[in-house]
């Protein structure tokens, strides 16, 4: 007997149905007023941290590079989106979509510009260049008062980051990166991580794929930045400092380099924990950094390794087990 496999349309159907149910439930809960303002905001925060972590994972987990300026892209996208939204030149619905796209594209463009020189160099230089770039962005945003209002902050940004908007962005990010990774482009990215010289000898244009991954990663970071702006209502350059980049990196590392599910879970937990453990806040970064060191020493692949969750695979497993049990009992009765 051939092992049971779910047909392709069924897999897509199940996943889509689940996602829609979750959207309706989530929307109902956040709209009902059951949760306070802080809780609602927390859910939104989890959302954009998932986007940030999943997009950084593309660079760190899949491509094997370590950019330290993710907050910089977030800032670029955040300011681009916020400025567009403040201008209010389009009706709300269209404005949200265009603003998010604009945020992503601006960040991706900046990522492209910085990626060309940075990615020609070896790993550690990339870390330092992106770190430097993140600082440059912050200094620039602080100093172009006519556009960003500098350190005083860009205020009265329309609060567009509703649960539905954030949720759709999260799903779009995860789906797009998942689809990308399961294509020839994704395999090219993975092959660069595993062995760059061999990848080149297979005709994989390594520079192209590094810059592409960098730009895609920046694109989603930019969207997350806009969502952040739409949640906070105010943007201050100091919010996008080195520590923000490190926070995102921690989520990715603890979740597991190369595991999207790991990034999602770690983003949820690490955003949720400080909220419930207020008294421990003083020790939070100490605990995180210790965790980071310990995980690197004892389980360098992160908590989830590169395991990725697949509902279809679990269903298949269960059905196969049932079939086996049935087959066994059929044998017995014979």
Positions that interact with other proteins (CB under 8 A): 60, 64, 66, 68, 117-118, 120-121, 123-125, 127-129, 131-133, 135-136, 139-140, 142-143, 176, 179-180, 183-188, 190-191, 193-195, 197-206, 212, 242-243, 246, 249, 253, 257, 282-283, 285-286, 288-290, 292-293, 296-297, 300, 306
Looking at the Cβ atoms of 153 and 233, the one nearer to other proteins is 153
Looking at the Cβ atoms of 33 and 203, the one nearer to other proteins is 203
Residue tagged 């230089």 (tokens) = 125
Angle between helices 123-143 and 242-255 (to 10 degrees): 140
d(CA 142, CA 197): 41
The greatest distance separating any two alpha carbons of the chain, rounded to the nearest whole angstrom, comes to 85
Least Å distance, CB 120 to other proteins, is: 7
Looking at the Cβ atoms of 85 and 133, the one nearer to other proteins is 133
Looking at the Cβ atoms of 44 and 252, the one nearer to other proteins is 252
Least Å distance, CB 216 to other proteins, is: 8
Residues near 114 by beta carbon (within 8 Å), at least 6 away in sequence? 69, 129, 130, 133, 214
- Number of C-beta neighbours around residue 181 at 10 A: 19
Looking at the Cβ atoms of 37 and 298, the one nearer to other proteins is 298
| The pair of three-digit structure tokens given for residue 201, joined into one six-digit string | 């000898």
Looking at the Cβ atoms of 32 and 298, the one nearer to other proteins is 298
**How many residues appear in the chain?**
334
Looking at the Cβ atoms of 66 and 166, the one nearer to other proteins is 66
Least Å distance, CB 80 to other proteins, is: 19
Residues near 26 by beta carbon (within 8 Å), at least 6 away in sequence? 43, 163, 167
Q: Is the CB of residue 107 less than 8 Å from the CB of residue 82? A: no
| The pair of three-digit structure tokens given for residue 100, joined into one six-digit string | 């998010």
Q: Is the CB of residue 95 less than 8 Å from the CB of residue 230? A: no
Least Å distance, CB 293 to other proteins, is: 4
Looking at the Cβ atoms of 180 and 315, the one nearer to other proteins is 180
Looking at the Cβ atoms of 167 and 219, the one nearer to other proteins is 219
Calculate Rg over the CA atoms of the chain. Answer: 22
Least Å distance, CB 253 to other proteins, is: 6
Least Å distance, CB 34 to other proteins, is: 36
Least Å distance, CB 240 to other proteins, is: 14
CA 295 to chain centre: 21
Q: Is the CB of residue 52 less than 8 Å from the CB of residue 224? A: yes
Least Å distance, CB 145 to other proteins, is: 11
- Number of C-beta neighbours around residue 332 at 10 A: 7
Least Å distance, CB 122 to other proteins, is: 8
In Å, what is the CA distance from 245 to each residue of 70, 72, 259, 301? 5, 8, 19, 20
Read out DSSP for 219-273? HHHHHHHHHHHHHHS-B-GGGGSHHHHHHHHHHHHHH-TT-HHHHHHHHHHHHHH
């Amino acid at each position: 007997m051939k092992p049971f496999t779910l047909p392709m349309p069924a897999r897509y159907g199940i996943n889509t149905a689940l996602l829609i149910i979750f959207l309706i439930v989530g929307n109902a809960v956040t709209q009902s007023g059951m949760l306070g303002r802080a809780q609602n905001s927390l859910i939104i925060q989890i959302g954009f941290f998932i986007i940030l972590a999943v997009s950084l994972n593309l660079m760190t987990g899949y491509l094997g590079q370590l950019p330290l300026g993710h907050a910089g892209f977030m800032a670029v996208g955040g300011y681009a989106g916020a400025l567009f939204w403040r201008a209010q030149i389009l009706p709300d619905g269209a404005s949200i979509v265009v603003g998010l796209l604009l945020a992503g594209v601006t960040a991706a463009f900046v990522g492209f510009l910085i990626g060309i020189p940075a990615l020609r160099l070896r790993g550690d230089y990339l870390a330092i260049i992106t770190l430097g770039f993140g600082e440059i962005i912050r200094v620039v945003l602080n100093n172009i008062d006519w556009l960003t209002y500098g350190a005083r902050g860009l205020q009265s940004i329309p609060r567009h980051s509703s649960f539905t908007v954030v949720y759709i962005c999260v799903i779009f990010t995860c789906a797009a990166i998942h689809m990308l990774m399961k294509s020839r482009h994704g395999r090219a990215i993975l092959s660069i991580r595993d062995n760059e010289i061999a990848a080149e000898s297979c005709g994989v244009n390594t520079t192209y794929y590094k810059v592409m991954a960098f730009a895609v990663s920046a694109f989603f970071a930019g969207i997350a930045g806009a969502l952040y702006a739409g949640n906070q209502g105010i943007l201050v350059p100091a919010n996008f400092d080195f520590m923000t980049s490190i926070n995102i990196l921690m989520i990715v590392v603890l979740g597991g380099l190369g595991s999207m599910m790991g990034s999602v879970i770690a983003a949820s937990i690490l955003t949720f924990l400080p909220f419930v453990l207020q008294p421990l806040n003083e020790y939070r970064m100490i605990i995180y950094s210790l965790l980071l060191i310990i995980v690197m020493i004892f389980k360098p692949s992160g908590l989830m390794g590169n395991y990725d969750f697949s509902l279809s695979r679990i269903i298949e497993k269960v059905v196969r087990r049932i079939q086996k049990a049935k087959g066994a009992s059929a044998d017995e009765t014979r």
